[in-house]
Amino acid sequence: MSNHRVDEGHPLDKSAAVPRAKALLLSLLQERVASGQLNKLDARILILRLGLEGERCHSLYETASLIHKSAETVRHHQYQSLRHLTKDQYFDQVLREYARLVPLPRGITYYLHKS
């Protein structure tokens, strides 16, 4: 895979960088599900929390309501998934660049700063 930054190009071209970054992260999550490295529930949680489908990131409680699980279950799955996925340097790089473009929920940004 390429080592190019997601938002390369004109500095004001953020509007084009966000959809590219979303598509790339969504593709990476789908690849992990297809290979058995990530289950569908964990992928769905990350898709909702990262705002990869739709216009915005969902809160912990919104995500819990949408998938009919407790907020603590969502938080736990999110943490475990990110811990596993960010061991892959490419995924970690793409996620961090996406976080520079999109205001992510506190639980996600906390994890990125912690690691």
Per-residue pLDDT tens for 54-108? 889 999 999 999 999 999 999 999 999 999 999 999 999 999 999 999 999 988 9
Which pLDDT belongs to residue 12? 46
Would the pLDDT of 7 be above 90?
Answer: no
Looking at the whole model, is its pTM more than 0.95? Answer: no
- Looking at per-residue pLDDT, the higher value among 15 and 48 belongs to 48
**Inter-residue contact 104 to 25 (CB < 8 Å):** no
Average predicted confidence (pLDDT) for the chain:
88
**Domain limits of the chain?**
14-114
Q: C-alpha 112: how far from its chain's center?
A: 11
- Looking at per-residue pLDDT, the higher value among 12 and 115 belongs to 115
Q: Cα-atom radius of gyration of the chain, to the nearest Å?
A: 14
